Amino acid sequence: MRGRRAIARNVLAALVAFALAFVLFRWWDFTLPSVGGAKYQAVFLANGQTYFGRYLDRLGAYVKVENAYYIQQTRTEDESAPPESKLIRRGSELHKPYPFVLIPKSAILFVEDLRADSAVAQFMDRESAK
């Protein structure tokens, strides 16, 4: 009788360990970030949107972009002219969201570090100094 209990206890312990390992490997992101060495990053999404800011990889399904900016294109009165592009800081919209954005990892195509001499990085530095 004792032998059967010991076997059952060992099988149960193995099943619990297997279940925990499965959950850990399924939900935990074990990759080391290859970006984040620069002050700002560009996050390119599958829908064509790009966010600029401080990229923070997080555990779970979402990343966070702090002090986020995005490009807004507007048409001029001259229809033959190309659209004008402006960098808009998230949080300045009518509904006043917080200046960060949570993005599903599944929506991200790629992330790049921005060099300090990038026009976008210099613009964000000037804006944050105000």
Domain match, 11 and 55 both: no
The Cβ of residue 50 has, within 10 Å, a number of other Cβ atoms equal to: 15
Q: Residue 109: which domain range?
A: 41-129
Domain match, 45 and 25 both: no
Q: How many CA atoms lie within 13 A of 116 on its CB side?
A: 3
pLDDT of residue 29: 56
What's the whole-model pTM score?
0.69
Domain match, 110 and 48 both: yes
Question: What is the tens place of the pLDDT at every residue in 6-26?
Answer: 788 888 888 888 888 777 766
> What band does 73 get if pLDDT is binned at 50, 70 and 90?
confident
**Cα(50)–Cα(118) distance, integer angstroms:** 15
How many domains does the chain contain in total?
2
Tokens (6 digits) for 9: 């206890």
